[in-house]
Structure 1
Amino acid sequence: MFQLDLKSRKSIYEQIVDKIKELIIAGILRPEDKIPSVRELSKTLTVNPNTIQKAYRELEYQGYLYTVSGLGTFVASPPEHRIDEKRVNEVKEHIRENIKELLYLGCPLDRVKDMMEELLQERSNWK
């Protein structure tokens, strides 16, 4: 499914959350897809099952997954009208920090704007 970076400063739990979110956002995992059980993913990644369970719980809390007792854990459908303002603000802050870093690296503001426009143009290819 994916690999973890044992040298990363991010915890294993955070890496699992991020990797599964990336797979969902990229469309590799689609709504209603069944994901591996805690035990299966634990064996595959050689990670403690409690760590996998914690990551799955966090992804459920964030609305990316849901669990059906006795059937397993599945990818949730994206919310249609519900916007998590707290999460939107967190993502906005990440964008702000990345723009600051680009400017610090010497990218002219016009180039940063072009990059943003290019990324927004790619949006039409995402779904």
Structure 2
Amino acid sequence: MARTQALMIQIATGDTRPISRQIVDAVRMKIATAELSPGAQLPSVRGLAQQLTINPNTVAKAYAELTSEGWLEARQGLGLYVATPRQRLSDDERERRMDEAIQRFVHEVAALDYPPDRALARLDRELRVLAPKKTA
């Protein structure tokens, strides 16, 4: 039986995203970078709420979203586990989300008045940092 894996995430009170969105984003990133592997058990709703000192309903909302998207799977009476990897979104939806993410990035970079080559170099460096974790 898998042991519950500590979920080392932090909530930023100054972040514009709701707390449940911060949890969803953090768990997705940990799964995408293989920091959480398939079959790993996540803390209970109450356990993570206590760890983060937040309302359990907020954690339940985040876990429900991650489960409905296929990142997590609920095992009756056992808890939540990282699901086996699969394509979670259609190709069209992945393309739509990529377009949105790029537009947000471009607008933020433009507002910061960064030269495109410098922004691309920084983006490339950040993506390369993630690559070894994913293949390890």
Shorter-chain TM-score range: 0.7 to 0.9
CA contact (8 A) 1:4 1:45 kept: yes
User: Sequence identity, in percent?
Assistant: 35
In structure 1, what is the Cα distance between the partners aligned to 2:67 and 2:21? 14
CA contact (8 A) 2:69 2:88 kept: no
Q: Name the counterpart of 2:43.
A: 36
- SS for the counterpart of 1:19 is helix
Shift of 1:36: 0.5
Q: Name the counterpart of 2:52.
A: 45
In structure 2, stretches of 5+ residues that fail to align are: 1-7
In structure 1, stretches of 5+ residues that fail to align are: none
Q: Name the counterpart of 2:23.
A: 16
Shift of 1:64: 0.8
Structure number with higher relative contact order (C-alpha < 8 Å, ≥ 6 residues apart): 2
Q: Name the counterpart of 1:102.
A: 109
Distance change (3 Å), C-alpha of 1:22 and 1:81: closer
Q: Name the counterpart of 1:69.
A: 76
Q: Which amino acid aligns with 2:115?
A: P
Moved more, 85-94 or 62-71: 85-94
Q: Which amino acid aligns with 1:102?
A: V
Distance change (3 Å), C-alpha of 1:84 and 1:38: farther
CA contact (8 A) 1:42 1:49 kept: yes
Q: Which amino acid aligns with 2:116?
A: L
Distance change (3 Å), C-alpha of 1:84 and 1:37: farther
Please, which of 56, 61, 64 is the counterpart of residue 54 of structure 1?
61
Moved more, 28-37 or 101-110: 101-110
In structure 2, what is the Cα distance between the partners aligned to 1:68 and 1:41? 18
User: Aligned-pair RMSD on alpha carbons?
Assistant: 2.5
Distance change (3 Å), C-alpha of 1:89 and 1:8: same
Do residues 27 (structure 1) and 34 (structure 2) align? yes
CA contact (8 A) 2:33 2:130 kept: no
Q: Which amino acid aligns with 2:77?
A: G
Q: Compute the TM-score of the two structures, normalised by the length of structure 1.
A: 0.80
Deviations 1:45-79 (A, max 9, x none): 12221111111000011211110111110111221
